[in-house]
Amino acid sequence: MTVGGWAALAANEQPATATDAAVAQPVIGVTLIAPQPTQATTAQSAVAQSAVLQSAVAPATDTPAPSPTAVPQLRVVTIPTVVPRRAFVAVTRSSK
């Protein structure tokens, strides 16, 4: 599975394909539930790092992704869709 595909898997809570990689929103915030806290932390870090890579060179399709089998029994809960600041043209906020 590609990095983008891994991000798409996390975002959509369903298996992703190489096509999904091209449409996946870049992600840097990930929350996971796992049987052991260390398991969730490891998986969270792996997914987040993969997503940052994906957003930096989007669309990325060739970078190896962490194997889902390395973090069994995980369930994705939330995925804030956040992209690198440099990707924006502008930011809307209350007056600054």
Partner 1 sequence: MQRIEFRAMNCQMLAVIDSDESAATTALAEVPGWFERWEQCLSRFRADSDLSQLNQRSGEWVPVCADLFSVIEAALWAAHISDGLVSPTLLDALERAGYDRSFEQLASNQPIYSDATAGKTMAASWREIQVDADTMQVFLPAGTRLDLGGVAKGWAAEQAAARLCSLGATLVDAGGDIAMRGDIAMRGDIAMQGCRDNNEPWPIAIADPFHPDEILDTVLIRGGSVATSGRDYRRWRIIGSGADTRIWQHHILDPRTGQPANTDVLSATVIAPQMIWAEAAAKTALILGSNEGMAWIEGHPDLAATLVLDDGQVLRSRHMKDYTGETWN
Structure-token pair, residue 24: 């996946």
Which of 12, 39, 42, 59 is close enough to bind partner 1 by CB under 8 A?
Answer: 59
Phi, psi of 40 (to 5 degrees): -65, -40
CB 7 to partner 1: min, Å: 12
- C-alpha 54/C-alpha 10 separation (Å) is 13
Residue 43 φ/ψ, nearest 5 degrees: -65, -40
Q: Which positions from 14 through 33 interact with partner 1, judged by CB under 8 A?
A: 22-23, 25-26
**Residue partners of 96: CB distance under 8 A and separation at least 6:** none
Q: Is 85 in the site for partner 1 (CB under 8 A)?
A: yes
75 or 85: CB nearest partner 1: 85
Binding site for partner 1 (CB under 8 A): 22-23, 25-26, 58-59, 80-83, 85, 87-96
